[in-house]
Structure 1
């Protein structure tokens, strides 16, 4: 087609262009509504990763089905045409099985391809556990631990997520029952990269994971198996913003662990408050409900764990704890460890918290997961337990026909309209066990499905099947006005409004803590603030820098409060020579990104080691960024004023 005809055809079809532009606009709006905030909520990150893994697994299953069909068609045609060769083929198959069954390692034979049908029938085993290590691993020990869990995971065909920090491990894993036990046995023997022999006595010491509690759930559907093993490097096992020297020592300040039966008994006492240290969207669909004359349950209404220290420091929170026994609980116990230690540290070091007369701090050993095993009918639990594995949420095992709790179902299409579940075990009154409600129509609902998030704060949206289907059909739109119950209650109507409020609260909290000197042992030091950033950075070793890059890219910094002095203090002792603040071309505004040049390769490696650390309430992101040969670098007028990096 020539230019003339092309221009005439394009000019003669404006309605088509308009139609396409409208479609593009709708696609953009749809993408915008589905966009998830990428800030410092580790729970959101894990949730998105889980969704991606599910998609990949579906694709892999489709490929396997096609392959089986092709193989079955080939084998059937071959058997019909060459029946005389059957004895020879049988012999070769038997020989192959005999070779495969030869024990070359202690990996179970049930993971061999020849036993895949047996695997499917047996189901999989889910393992949940965490372990804090004190003192934290140094860089060499940390790398040793990370390599060890990854290698034994591959040996035993274990899949799932391992959050690996210098303070320990937090894991959600799947695999065969036999191989999972072998993996646990190996981990119990692991010395954490440290010597297991006491140099003074010459006796063997207890290994890091010798007394770890491993929580196992057997015979889950194969569809709930993770497709691969992902070992994630993190600063904290739970992102409280209390990394490094900020972290209250668990061995010194940790709460008293209560087994489920003892915890259950405590909840009947009237002078007890029970703090749910999970996120609000989790407690929204399930929580403990003690008897009327028993404990009082407190929901801090958090969207992420970094909000807990701020909530605990509020005057109204402290009044709720006055003259009470304080119980805490979470899904598996890991979030209670730092939360209880933080409260007990405040009781030991802060006068206003000391004066509250708190009678004790306790936490549920093994979390809700272990409580369900001891109280299969639920005990004082109501609703569902939100989890970060492929079950998504589950009711106590003894509750028959709980809505949304059918084995293997993970889609809203598996459930009938509210009122009854399509279940062979019989219908139940759905409203009896449902605590949550649809954010769009207020109908009782307790399943988080799909990718939609609250358009203002980014937490998962609780939307019923009917509203999802209506949105797909175009008869009802899930627009920006459909928000989570917290944003509705707090009258938060935009992302900007939410972010400004969040930054203001964080700044007020940090300023308060800078002014407050907390005595911890014999050393006086601020609990948070710039002084702690020195300790957090100084105890890290430089990251490898094989390409010899001294230019780095930093993003997600606080646009309102970040300046040259603050950045240099944060990156101390690494020496920075140039900073290029990246601003918007049109408005000239700074949105939190910059390029920096360091004096040496070691300085660059040390800066990269701070990737993921908190500064001014934001998790800073760092990566090597080699300058383009065509670009001028360092840029004139970006040189840092000559001065010693010194913390304020």
Structure 2
């Protein structure tokens, strides 16, 4: 049995979009010491592929981080299988808020050094000594306390489309930078309540443990992140202190929490919070694009990319041969590709 998917991704995406199968999008994580991450990864691939699971999972010696979709009819079997693994028994599963099940089109499980790139040496502190977890009501209470500082532990392109009111929104590209910003901001305010949040909770697990390690006493984190918060306020009929969209790392690129649109199109400046990836395979820039600009630029970030995708496929392949652009994200004032007049 092959332990990797070798089918063309475009074909898999077309198949996924065409199927009427109902699926559920789920994210979960767990810090746990794995003595043999490779063996665990291979067995997990076999088991999840048999259940029709799609998605992206990172496995490391420190645990697991997963964003997946599961066939609705296999959800119970999937959960039972997961909970049969002793260290994942009872694991919290964050179910997507706004979901049509078309979030992933293949199963990808990778072994990495860490399940989240944080730049920390885990041997220097207790990663299990995390901050106090608070639910939606607890978050609201702390947020209303003038002695509380709220920090968004996500990247700039995530907070640009949605965030908690009154939160500090560091203008950074990586979680590693985020940690340093949080440390610097709070250095002289160790008597304050430090309240952190992220998408599903995983970044705050490590961040809160680090902040406690360097001397902060009143460290809190939103349990289950924005995803769980959105479910709780809906169930309990609470007003939302989060405005806009929650950016997610799958095909949807966002879950709407409130109707507020707080971002603008990166090409024309009109109110918009819909992320997209440039259609040019040699670019794939992640940016915000409104429907009018989508039509004008044919799903591309620029006239140059629009012209490129009009070329024959073999010419496009030759143009991008040997080029590895990595993850390209639009940032105001730092993009040479987008011609924009955002406000």
Relative to 1, partners in 2 of residues 1:61 and 1:386: Cα closer, same or farther, differing over 3 Å?
closer
The offset of 1:478, in angstroms, is 7.2
Aligned to 2:175: 305
State the Cα deviation string for residues 558-600 of structure 1 (Å, max 9, x = none).
Answer: xxxxxxxxxxxxxxxxxxxxxxxxxxxxxxxxxxxxxxxxxxx
Aligned to 1:275: 151
The offset of 1:241, in angstroms, is 1.7
Relative to 1, partners in 2 of residues 1:218 and 1:494: Cα closer, same or farther, differing over 3 Å?
closer
Residue 466 (1) aligns with residue 335 (2)? no
Aligned to 1:318: 187
Aligned to 1:389: 250
Secondary structure at the aligned position of 2:144 is classed as coil
The offset of 1:310, in angstroms, is 3.0
The offset of 1:325, in angstroms, is 0.2
Match of 1:175 among 70, 88, 92: 70
Aligned to 1:143: 38
Residue 56 (1) aligns with residue 11 (2)? yes
Aligned to 1:37: none
Aligned to 1:124: 23
Match of 1:240 among 118, 132, 139: 118
The offset of 1:221, in angstroms, is 2.9
1-side partners of 2:170 and 2:177: how far apart?
9
1-side partners of 2:288 and 2:132: how far apart?
34
Aligned to 1:231: 109
Match of 1:250 among 120, 123, 127: 127
Residue 260 (1) aligns with residue 136 (2)? yes
Are the equivalent residues in 2 in contact too, given 1:383–1:435 (CA < 8 A)? yes
The offset of 1:265, in angstroms, is 1.7
Q: Show the 5 A alignment for 1:29-40.
A: none
Unaligned runs of 5+ in 2: 1-7, 306-327, 338-343
Relative to 1, partners in 2 of residues 1:442 and 1:378: Cα closer, same or farther, differing over 3 Å?
farther
1-side partners of 2:198 and 2:75: how far apart?
24
Q: Show the 5 A alignment for 1:332-343.
A: 332-343=200-211
Q: Show the 5 A alignment for 1:184-195.
A: 184-190=79-85
1-side partners of 2:134 and 2:14: how far apart?
44
Relative to 1, partners in 2 of residues 1:244 and 1:326: Cα closer, same or farther, differing over 3 Å?
closer
1-side partners of 2:336 and 2:299: how far apart?
26
Q: Show the 5 A alignment for 1:425-436.
A: 433-436=260-263
Return structure 1 stretches of 4+ with deviation > 6 angstroms: none
Secondary structure at the aligned position of 1:208 is classed as helix
2-side partners of 1:184 and 1:392: how far apart?
25
Aligned to 1:546: none
Structure with the higher fraction of residues in helix conformation: 1
Q: Show the 5 A alignment for 1:78-117.
A: none
Q: Show the 5 A alignment for 1:546-625.
A: none
Aligned to 1:210: 89
Aligned to 1:444: 271
Structure showing greater relative contact order (alpha-carbon pairs closer than 8 Å, 6 or more residues apart): 2
The offset of 1:342, in angstroms, is 1.2
Secondary structure at the aligned position of 2:194 is classed as strand
The offset of 1:146, in angstroms, is 1.4
Aligned to 2:223: 365
2-side partners of 1:395 and 1:471: how far apart?
25
Are the equivalent residues in 1 in contact too, given 2:148–2:192 (CA < 8 A)? yes
Aligned to 2:320: none
The offset of 1:463, in angstroms, is 2.7
The offset of 1:477, in angstroms, is 4.1
State the Cα deviation string for residues 527-559 of structure 1 (Å, max 9, x = none).
Answer: xxxxxxxxxxxxxxxxxxxxxxxxxxxxxxxxx
Aligned residues: 304
Are the equivalent residues in 1 in contact too, given 2:150–2:196 (CA < 8 A)? yes
Are the equivalent residues in 1 in contact too, given 2:53–2:69 (CA < 8 A)? yes
2-side partners of 1:182 and 1:174: how far apart?
13
Secondary structure at the aligned position of 1:388 is classed as coil
Secondary structure at the aligned position of 1:461 is classed as strand
Secondary structure at the aligned position of 1:297 is classed as coil
The offset of 1:452, in angstroms, is 7.1
1-side partners of 2:194 and 2:299: how far apart?
49
2-side partners of 1:322 and 1:217: how far apart?
35
Relative to 1, partners in 2 of residues 1:493 and 1:154: Cα closer, same or farther, differing over 3 Å?
closer
Greater Rg over alpha carbons, structure: 1
TM-align CA RMSD:
3.4
Relative to 1, partners in 2 of residues 1:273 and 1:176: Cα closer, same or farther, differing over 3 Å?
same
Aligned to 2:49: 154
Aligned to 1:331: 199
Are the equivalent residues in 1 in contact too, given 2:38–2:111 (CA < 8 A)? no
Normalising to structure 2: TM-score of the pair? 0.77
1-side partners of 2:94 and 2:187: how far apart?
34
The offset of 1:130, in angstroms, is 0.5
1-side partners of 2:196 and 2:265: how far apart?
28
Secondary structure at the aligned position of 1:251 is classed as coil
Are the equivalent residues in 2 in contact too, given 1:452–1:461 (CA < 8 A)? no
Unaligned runs of 5+ in 1: 1-51, 65-115, 191-206, 290-295, 348-357, 403-432, 496-648
The offset of 1:485, in angstroms, is 7.7
The offset of 1:323, in angstroms, is 2.7
1-side partners of 2:285 and 2:191: how far apart?
34
Secondary structure at the aligned position of 1:341 is classed as helix
Relative to 1, partners in 2 of residues 1:177 and 1:218: Cα closer, same or farther, differing over 3 Å?
farther
